């Protein structure tokens, strides 16, 4: 029987890869740089991962750096608000922000990373589906509502605001976005007064 198989120093290599990605961005991420940072010969890296996207894909898959919890606050509006806040945090906190920006930015350019991002988003959606199941059980959700549409609008709005517009995220951004996306509010924490007779949705502020 042979001994252990597979790369022995993948831990150091993945760590160096993600750190350098966050520091320099995808474009200036170099395999020789990773080797140097990891204290490893570049031959070792090339033996296991044939290309930069392959290495990055393995590194991202191996480390759960972009995972954040799925909230359960008791209301759809609360869950969506919490989701927005978590997403904003991930895209704002410097450590994960650079990483997420580089990874998702590079995904637009590279098929291998695109596939990775694709499954990442699919997994995220699957994890977030319970939010909508619970909301439906509470009667907060009109049937026919498409969770993917809500999630995409939510994530996309945060993405555009933080990484494309680069505008500061106001205090009530999460709540406003959740309110906009709630197919039916009802329990909006700051919705204050009674609903308009014609169904105009309440809004914080």
Partner DNA sequence: CCTCAAATGCAACGCAACGTTGCGTTGCAT
Partner DNA sequence: ATGCAACGCAACGTTGCGTTGCATTTGAGG
Residues in contact with a copy of itself by CB under 8 A are 25-27, 101-102, 104-110, 114, 117-118, 121-122, 139, 142, 144-146, 148-150, 152-161, 163-166, 173, 176-177, 180-181, 183-184, 186, 195-196, 198-201, 203, 205
Taking CB under 7 A as the binding criterion, the range among 37-45, 85-93, 97-105, 123-131 that sits at the site for DNA is 37-45
CB 81 within 8 A of CB 178: yes
Neighbours of 81 (CB within 10 A): 27
Taking CB under 7 A as the binding criterion, the range among 3-11, 56-64, 132-140, 148-156 that sits at the site for DNA is 3-11
CA atoms within a 13 Å half-sphere pointing along the CA-CB vector of 103: 30
Residue of the chain from 18, 23, 32, 179 that contacts DNA (CB under 7 A): 32
CB 169 within 8 A of CB 202: no
Rounded least distance, CB 133 to a copy of itself, Å: 17
Among a copy of itself, DNA, none, the one that 39 touches (CB under a kind-dependent 5 to 8 A) is DNA
Residue of the chain from 18, 20, 22, 40 that contacts DNA (CB under 7 A): 40
Among DNA, a copy of itself, none, the one that 33 touches (CB under a kind-dependent 5 to 8 A) is DNA
Give the list of residues 6+ apart from residue 174 with CB closer than 8 angstroms, or none.
81, 82, 84, 85, 88
Among DNA, a copy of itself, none, the one that 42 touches (CB under a kind-dependent 5 to 8 A) is DNA
H helix or E strand, kind and range, residue 82: helix 76-92
* Angle, CA 165 vertex, CA 162 and CA 168 arms, to 5°: 55
**How far, CA to CA in Å, does 192 sit from each of 17, 84, 138?**
49, 21, 21
Q: Is 4 in the site for DNA (CB under 7 A)?
A: yes
Q: Is 48 in the site for DNA (CB under 7 A)?
A: yes
H helix or E strand, kind and range, residue 129: helix 111-137
Binding site for DNA (CB under 7 A): 1-10, 30-33, 39-44, 46-48, 50-52
């Amino acid at each position: 029987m042979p001994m252990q198989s597979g790369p022995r120093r993948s831990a150091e290599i993945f760590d160096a890869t993600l750190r350098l990605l966050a520091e320099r961005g995808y474009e200036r991420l170099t395999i020789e740089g990773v080797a140097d940072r990891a204290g490893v010969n570049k031959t070792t890296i090339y033996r296991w991962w044939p290309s930069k996207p392959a290495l990055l894909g393995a590194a991202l898959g191996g480390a759960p750096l972009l995972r954040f919890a799925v909230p359960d606050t008791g209301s759809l509006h609360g869950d969506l608000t919490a989701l927005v806040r978590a997403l904003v945090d991930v895209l704002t906190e410097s450590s994960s922000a650079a990483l997420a920006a580089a990874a998702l930015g590079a995904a637009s350019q590279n098929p291998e990373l695109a596939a990775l991002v694709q499954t990442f988003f699919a997994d995220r959606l699957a994890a977030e589906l319970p939010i909508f199941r619970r909301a439906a059980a509470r009667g907060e959700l009109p049937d026919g509502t498409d969770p993917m549409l809500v999630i995409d609008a939510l994530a996309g709005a945060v993405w555009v605001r933080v990484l494309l517009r680069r505008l500061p995220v106001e205090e009530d951004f999460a709540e406003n976005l959740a309110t906009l996306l709630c197919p039916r509010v009802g329990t909006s924490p700051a919705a204050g007064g009674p609903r308009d007779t014609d169904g105009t949705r309440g809004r914080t502020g």
